Structure 1
Amino acid sequence: MASKFGRIFTIIVISYLVSQVTCHSKRSIDLIAAHSLISDTRLPKEISPNSYKVKVQPFPEEGYFKGEVRINVTWQESTDLITLHAHNELEISEKDIAVIQFMADDESEKLSSSPMLPSPIKLIKIERVPKKPLIVLHMEKPLNRGSQCEIQLGFAGKMYNDTSEALFRHQYIDTVSGEKKWYVATHFRPNLARRVFPCFDEPALKATFLVSVARQKHMTALSNMPLINSEEIENQPGWVWDHFEQTPVMSTFTVGFVVSEFVYVERNKTEDDKDMGLDIKVWSRPDYLDMLKNVSDKIIRSLEILQDFWGVPYPLPKLDCFALPNYQATKPADNWGLILFKESELTSKKTWHISQELVYQWLGSLATPFWWSDAHINNALNRYVTAYTTLELNYGYETFNNWPTTMLYSIYYEFSKRYPHGKTTAIKQDSVSAKTELVFRMLNYTLGESTFKHGLQKFMTDRQYKTFFGDDIWAALNDQANFDSVLPKDATVNAIAASWITKDRLPVINVVRNYADNTVNITQKVYLRERPHDVPDQDKLLWWIPIVLVKQNKLDFKNTTPAIWMQKEKTVTLTDMPGSDFFIIVNPEEIGPFPVNYDQQNWNMLSNFLIHDKDRLKIPVNTRAKLLHDAWNLAYAGDLCFDTALDMTLFLKHEKEYIAWDPIFTMIDHIGRHIDSPEIHRKFQIYIRDILEPLYIELASESKEGESDGKAHLRSTSKTFLCQAGYKPCIEEAQAAFKKWMDSENPDEGNPVANQYICPVFQWGTKEEWEFGLQRIINFPPSRKQNERTYLLKTLAGCPLDSWKIERLLNITVLETNGNFSDNDVSLIFSMLAGRARGYTTLFNFLEKNWFTIKTK
């Protein structure tokens, strides 16, 4: 018992201190999907591959595969060792290994068409390197530079159905026949080809591939390229080899194939279609095919946009996309010409899943990062082009038009910490990639879309079928910018980009106007939110910052050419500002990823214009959202008064766009959790009801057919926050729904109340309603799903504002000997209480009041 209450004491103290000191660490980071940098053993550079002939025979029901690979290689330097990647679990029979050298015929070596005669090379040792995915072939003698050989290896391995990596198999139920069926597929990104066949498994070591796949006759095989022919396998009745055309040069991670009983749907062409000369098919299990009829239209439209963007045609003759049941990878498998999706990704109304994988057909497959250290730049540019393509498509615009605001909020938070990323590599890599994406967006605005697009087209033309370094992208943009004369003197794109992507920080600029002489003084410094602001060497951190400026007397948001670049300068001064009756906006549309602070008079003019002026909508919604977000970020950082930040929210009474509302929902939640004074909390709730009620009435309580996802989300979110603020119609609606549960004959059999109603009832309802919820937890039958009980307990503890409800729960769970609550329940209750000011204050007071009783127990 003593150890239990020792843990309770520790949890209470830690919860209280965490809530007081580092409360904003609870905000989630929505960027975690990073391609972390790969630490890998590099292969020696003496030998490089020219081509592969890969034959694989998978046995889906038995769960294994076998095959052989022949690799044509060239000696770049003299060596007697051949080193290949081969996973430790991959079985390689030494008797199936051979190295054949091609030697010129002495009698005809002077002729340009001299034939190459095969000559076996003796191997003296075959070594599997311990704890490394390497196999080393030791030859009897070294071969000289320019020598050519064919390396022949047989291999075998297992296929797993609990992962979607390397060569995997998954089972599904055919709903028509009721039979269990298997399919086999590959996912080699980033370096998993070595799990299936020995190879030079590095992105820079590109080669051509001739792929052959064995299948049973009732199944279909597809690979990167179209089928050449099929042949029956001798001594294996019912089996067929499918041989595919040779690929262009490509990296091992883009090789792929699928063996299945899936069927496909082709695009219904119209008279307006452009003939791309491309065979596009979308595959799925037969009973799912009707869900995919419009997918090929999305694919073809995305491809048209991307071909125009890159200035390079889609490089392969065909594209097959699969909707795979039970596919478990977090990302689609973007094999070249053969893309694997989860079923839900292809049937979603959103198109960015499709666009993103199509971007990889160029950026990743056609032009490939030399090594994974450049993967974050590849990923960042892919994300930018994906957003561009998605917005160009105009499919579900409002489901994607909050780009890039959501991402901006997250990286502002992450890079403003005293210790960004902590020890989490995945967060760091994705944050860096997200910031680099915003740098591309900034360059698109400041260089001009034409310059930016032509620069990337130059890059893709130069690097197609090759590899690239990150600097190659900046160099191509720089060359185009110089050609178009859009860069300031002594500036380079590389220097601009480096000032942003080499720092784990972001800047904030302070704009202070001198209204007497119509000038403005602009300074930059590191943006920090967590206190104390004692980051080492922060005064030395400077950026290339584009100062794009809009004046109230000329509200032109289309001209994004910088008035000046802060060339790693702390301070610049601009003249010719408008008079004291007109505001200015710096960094409109969030052109660069940095917040902007103004002098108090300029903030006041911005607030008054948005609240009272009939022309308020001349400020675009992204800029309105930016002004709100900047004000609150600066207030949290201690650089702006909170009353100014609150004044900036008052125009929301007239606001209907979700993008503008998004930052304020975050603010309401954050502030509301940390107001402990009942009097102040009541005033805060009145403020929430005041700004949200007009929006909720405008949207109406029920959704309308054909309305956008953004409007539906805005209605749902506004209702949630109104309920939390005690909006009477919402509370009455929740209580009416809750009463049906209370009036049921056996309330422990199930919960008929929608989750959205439970928290408002526990927060604002009667003592009887709250006690009813407590009894449902105590009497919860083991036959029901335990996650329902967990949700009920979380809301019972985390939603109430009344101290007596919290104390009642603590008396039962901590003081009384009650077997209905476990240690895990107590920990969950403490966690929920620590998330709100009233909760952790009541918890701490409860501990102080009952300490001797708890200590005695």
Structure 2
Amino acid sequence: MGTIWLGVLACMYVCYAMPPDKMRALHIIKTRSIDLNNAYGLAMESRLEKSVEPTGYKLALEPYLEDGMFKGRIEINITVLEETESISVHCAHEIDIMESEVLHRLATEKEFKSAPVASVSSDPKKPILTLRLKEAIPKSSVGLLKFYFKGNMETASTEAFFKTTYMTEQEVERTVVATQLRPNNARRMFPCFDEPAYKTPFELSVVRPRSMTALSNMPVARTENITDEPDAVWDYFERTPPMSTFTLGLIIADLKLLNDPIIYTDKNGNKITLRVWGRPEYLQTLEGVDDKFKRVFDEIASFWQVSLPLRQLDIVALPNYQGVKPADNWGLIVFKESDLSNRGYLQLAYEICYQWLGAFTTPAWWSDAHLNKALVAYLSAEVAFKINDGSEMEGKWPMTVLYSLYYEFSKRYPHSRITGMKQETASTKIELLFRMFNYTLGVDTFRNGLRSFIESRKFKTFTGDDIWNALNEAAKSSGRLPQDLDIRKLANSWIEKDRLPLVTVTRKYEDKTAQVSQKLYLRERPHDVPDADRLRWWTPVVMVRADSLSFTNATPVAWTDTDLTLRDLPDSNNFIIVNPEEIAPFPVNYDEHNWNLLSQFLQGSDRTKIPELTRAKLLHDAWNLAYAGQLSFATALNMTLFLKEERHHLVWDPIFTMIDHIRRHICPCIDDKFRAYIRNLLTPLYKELTKEVKEDEENWKKNLRSLSKTFLCRAGYKPCIEEAQEQYAKWMEAPTPDEGNPVSNQFICPVFKWGTQQEWDFGLQRVINFPSSRMQSERTYLLKTLAGCPRDEAKIVKLLNITILEGNSNFTETDLFLIFSMLTGSPQGYTSLFQFLSNNWDVLKEKFSSKTNLWDSLIASATSHFTTQDGLEMVSSLYVAHQGEFASAEHIIEKSMRNIREEAKWTDTNLPVMSKWLDWYLAQN
């Protein structure tokens, strides 16, 4: 809610208008909506036999709100595909089937006849219910399955058919009943064919309290009184279009409309009613959401130009809904109150886009979920950018996902720790591929292909090939793709590898040509990935030339998965840029002269003729390639010279990562020079950002100011240290310093790094004396900075003596893990820890003899982060001196020595170059 409220009355308003998930909650609810971790597991799920298929559901529900249970009956129309003596449906073990019946008839017959059920059994390991019949039902028959059942609503989570409660401002408890059936929770509510491909119409009816509102996928067709229940009514909803079971939605709650419904007419003349719902006391907080809703819906409907076959689309701010993501039922989207009331557009765009891509057409199986997510994510980001210039994401998309992808895929072993990360990065990579095709095929061709795709797959399911084939047809018909290529082949060359390429462009200036080659992009050493030389990607070669500088044409000069010669290039006075604007997800290296041309141009007055995203790319590529050993660090550091005049936050964004990575890698021998470089680099920016600080300024400016100050403080910027010590003194002078910390966290690390021993000792005592009544997270932060910030060995050794050798009871084993981890963040830290280990080997070996995890953590933290030949000799000497004594950590120190050997080669090559460049730079500044 952004505004600062003053006065008691205003405070009271904010308190009662806050969402219940931020207020007093009657349940502590934890849940996970479908994500790509789930999808990976679901892809392995057993499918139902294909002897029958559903053609329609008629579901009647009687929820008992006070008891948290429900009764129901369902009729499932089926078609018999193969003669069968058994019929299986999904049904959770918690659902109690009270009665079941099977009817059937031939297509030529009018009347149904009974098919006697011999037995009803539930698979003990799977949520599958099987009806075994006394006689087989012939192929091509039509049938009717009837079940009477009951079950309990979920109260520990907001998934499946759940009940939750919240308190009004008058301290009245209210009940909410709703569904979140994604991904396969329909079976926990009623017997069904709970697979995405079974898209059938639903006819839903439900009993609700007369005073409450019931919402579902379709409008209420009629409401009937219940003779013996005057306070309850039956709502009968209109028949839905064909849809998957998990898109069925239902809410029963005390809800009111926000303003009047919006009647939206799309470009095909189709009308759909858009409505926003919330609890009465929260509606004021939702003001403006309906306008956002209409704006986003208009953008997405205009993109697809295929009408949603719905009468209405409701979005609901549901009290105490705790799902990680909204419940995206078809025609009924359920948000956390706090999510719907925020000012952004991205999540709203995502959920509305899903109404077409996910509900109207659905992935054929969970293995295609990542593709669905990728396309929805890309289109949503485009919509959010178009509406508010990307301010919600501070303009950083696609950098927000692209840079993390570069780092993950450039490891020797991507996803080595987190299996689920593989699914997320796969989806992110495909999202960037859609962006690539939008650029290279052109906006019109890309849109036409996707519109054709969704038109052909409405009310159906799809696979990746359906999307790629539709884009391919559009590309061929518009002439935007060579006839010997197809989109599917291009896309799969990226999708099938958990890697990214590095493209190198080496110019031959005398004949105005350039050789384009590609190889696996690796940052981590050693570069010994198996079969790396055989990996190939179909890359678009999009080029910008300095002699006709324009960034409007993204048509590739060529698509290639092999070496390529570019001809008719500009002369040696003019640079080229390949893959501008990060059109495709790969970094680009050049010959030294082209890099120097780029550096010189960026230092000139025409710098902004290169867009900010491309300026950021050039910086990011240069230092990452230097870090990977593919480019001289002198060249990479030359690329930072233009930052003296640069003020766009996107261009600065990769610099802070560069500083942090290099700081962790260099030896103390050039540490002072590197810090001086950082101070020279950041001081003009920081001074400009602090000239005029406004309360309502953009987030990017606040973040850039904070980052520049943090990194200046780390680099020993004197005004920062003085300010930090001045603020810290207030704490030291406080009469009861253990009762609370009056100092902002931003001042603590500079004091511990550059301040006196007395100041550091004061912080140590605050950790030792930390009262249990205060937030433990404050103690954790203080301990992290005590260990991770100092550059004086004496402070580090004192902390290790107290916590380990003296065994101070105020420090736990968890604290020791934290200390070890923090000491790996700087050469001073891990070098001091190594010396402490060497000097106290016998004591530490005995102390941790029965604590394998701590021992392993100590050895890893003390030995694995050296990057020089001196460091290798130190670790090797320790290994020789205590060979056979490392026990469980034997493999850890052996791996450390292998890695240090590789890093030392990098250091021997790059540190002299870096040192020489820093000498030159500091002489100039």
Instruction: Give the alignment's TM-score, normalised by structure 1.
Output: 0.91
Q: 1:443 aligns with which of 432, 437, 441?
A: 437
Q: Is the alpha carbon distance of 1:702 and 1:529 closer, same or farther for their aligned partners in structure 2, counting shifts above 3 Å?
A: same
CA distance in 2, matches of 1:273, 1:462: 19
| Counterparts of residues 488-637 of structure 1 (less than 5 Å) | 488-566=482-560, 568-569=561-562, 571-611=563-603, 613-637=604-628
CA distance in 1, matches of 2:260, 2:758: 60
Matched, 1:762 2:749: no
CA distance in 2, matches of 1:320, 1:660: 40
Deviation at 1:798, TM superposition (A): 1.1
Kept in 1, the 8 Å contact 2:277–2:315? The answer is: yes
Deviations 1:519-550 (Å, cap 9, x if unpaired)? 10111111122222222222221121110011
Matched, 1:369 2:332: no
Deviations 1:105-156 (Å, cap 9, x if unpaired)? xxxx5xxxxx721212101111101110100111122222221111111222
Matched, 1:805 2:795: yes
* Higher relative contact order, chain-length normalized (CA < 8 Å, sep 6+): 1
SS in 2 for 1:553: helix
Deviation at 1:706, TM superposition (A): 4.2
- What residue number does 1:697 align with? 687
SS in 2 for 1:51: strand
- What residue number does 1:483 align with? 477
Matched, 1:714 2:714: no
Kept in 1, the 8 Å contact 2:788–2:819? The answer is: yes
Deviations 1:558-584 (Å, cap 9, x if unpaired)? 111111111x22x11011111111111
CA distance in 1, matches of 2:417, 2:741: 42
Deviations 1:284-333 (Å, cap 9, x if unpaired)? 22222211111111111111111111111233111111223332221111
Aligned partner letter, 2:319: P
CA distance in 2, matches of 1:636, 1:840: 21
Q: 2:448 aligns with which of 435, 454, 462?
A: 454
Q: Is the alpha carbon distance of 1:482 and 1:257 closer, same or farther for their aligned partners in structure 2, counting shifts above 3 Å?
A: same
SS in 1 for 2:72: strand
Deviation at 1:451, TM superposition (A): 0.5
Deviation at 1:759, TM superposition (A): 1.6
Q: Is the alpha carbon distance of 1:382 and 1:565 closer, same or farther for their aligned partners in structure 2, counting shifts above 3 Å?
A: same
Q: 1:681 aligns with which of 649, 666, 671?
A: 671
Aligned partner letter, 1:81: S
- What residue number does 1:829 align with? 819
Kept in 1, the 8 Å contact 2:262–2:274? The answer is: no
CA distance in 2, matches of 1:746, 1:705: 32
Q: Is the alpha carbon distance of 1:491 and 1:360 closer, same or farther for their aligned partners in structure 2, counting shifts above 3 Å?
A: same
Aligned partner letter, 1:255: L
Q: Is the alpha carbon distance of 1:672 and 1:60 closer, same or farther for their aligned partners in structure 2, counting shifts above 3 Å?
A: farther
Instruction: Give the alignment's TM-score, normalised by structure 2.
Output: 0.85
SS in 1 for 2:94: coil
Q: 1:226 aligns with which of 219, 230, 233?
A: 219
Aligned partner letter, 2:753: Q
More displaced stretch, 723-732 vs 836-845 = 723-732
CA distance in 1, matches of 2:588, 2:128: 53
Kept in 1, the 8 Å contact 2:263–2:273? The answer is: no
Matched, 1:406 2:400: yes
CA distance in 1, matches of 2:128, 2:265: 53
Deviation at 1:34, TM superposition (A): 5.4
Q: 1:82 aligns with which of 75, 83, 87?
A: 87
- What residue number does 2:887 align with? none
- What residue number does 1:14 align with? none
SS in 2 for 1:266: coil
Kept in 1, the 8 Å contact 2:389–2:395? The answer is: no
SS in 1 for 2:730: helix
Q: 1:726 aligns with which of 716, 721, 728?
A: 716
Kept in 2, the 8 Å contact 1:76–1:145? The answer is: yes
More displaced stretch, 707-716 vs 651-660 = 707-716
Q: Superposition RMSD on alpha carbons, in Å?
A: 2.1
Aligned partner letter, 2:592: Q
Q: Is the alpha carbon distance of 1:271 and 1:822 closer, same or farther for their aligned partners in structure 2, counting shifts above 3 Å?
A: closer
Q: 1:99 aligns with which of 89, 97, 102?
A: 102
SS in 2 for 1:496: helix
More displaced stretch, 136-145 vs 599-608 = 136-145
- What residue number does 2:160 align with? 166
| Counterparts of residues 41-120 of structure 1 (less than 5 Å) | 41-93=46-98, 96-102=99-105, 116-120=110-114
Q: 1:772 aligns with which of 756, 759, 762?
A: 762
- What residue number does 1:265 align with? 258
Deviation at 1:484, TM superposition (A): 0.7
CA distance in 2, matches of 1:267, 1:120: 50
Moved beyond 4 Å, runs of 4+: 31-35, 267-276, 852-857
Deviation at 1:87, TM superposition (A): 1.2
Deviations 1:85-120 (Å, cap 9, x if unpaired)? 111222212xx101122456xxxx5xxxxx721212
CA distance in 2, matches of 1:697, 1:276: 56
Aligned partner letter, 1:660: V
Q: 1:180 aligns with which of 173, 191, 205?
A: 173
- What residue number does 1:21 align with? none
Deviations 1:696-716 (Å, cap 9, x if unpaired)? 122226642543222222222
SS in 1 for 2:39: coil
Deviation at 1:761, TM superposition (A): 1.8
- What residue number does 1:341 align with? 335
SS in 2 for 1:665: helix
Q: Is the alpha carbon distance of 1:398 and 1:556 closer, same or farther for their aligned partners in structure 2, counting shifts above 3 Å?
A: farther
Deviations 1:713-755 (Å, cap 9, x if unpaired)? 2222222222222222222222222222222211111112222
Query: Which residues of structure 2 form unaligned runs of 5+?
Result: 1-33, 848-925
- What residue number does 2:45 align with? 40
CA distance in 2, matches of 1:703, 1:350: 24
SS in 2 for 1:278: strand
Q: Is the alpha carbon distance of 1:272 and 1:254 closer, same or farther for their aligned partners in structure 2, counting shifts above 3 Å?
A: closer
Percent identity of equivalent pairs: 53
Q: Is the alpha carbon distance of 1:763 and 1:58 closer, same or farther for their aligned partners in structure 2, counting shifts above 3 Å?
A: farther
- What residue number does 1:215 align with? 208
CA distance in 1, matches of 2:395, 2:619: 17
Q: 2:354 aligns with which of 353, 360, 374?
A: 360
- What residue number does 1:193 align with? 186
More displaced stretch, 120-129 vs 224-233 = 224-233
Number of paired residues? 811
Kept in 1, the 8 Å contact 2:266–2:307? The answer is: no
Deviation at 1:223, TM superposition (A): 0.5
Deviations 1:39-95 (Å, cap 9, x if unpaired)? 2111111211111011222233322222111111111221121110111222212xx
SS in 2 for 1:163: coil
Aligned partner letter, 1:704: K
Deviation at 1:658, TM superposition (A): 1.7
- What residue number does 1:245 align with? 238
Deviations 1:349-376 (Å, cap 9, x if unpaired)? 2210100001100000001111112111
SS in 2 for 1:673: helix
- What residue number does 2:785 align with? 795
Matched, 1:653 2:644: yes
- What residue number does 2:828 align with? 838
SS in 2 for 1:168: strand
Deviation at 1:477, TM superposition (A): 0.7
Kept in 1, the 8 Å contact 2:545–2:577? The answer is: yes
Query: Which residues of structure 1 form unaligned runs of 5+?
Result: 1-30, 110-114
- What residue number does 2:15 align with? none
Aligned partner letter, 1:742: M
SS in 1 for 2:316: strand
Aligned partner letter, 1:848: S
Deviation at 1:689, TM superposition (A): 1.6
- What residue number does 1:148 align with? 142
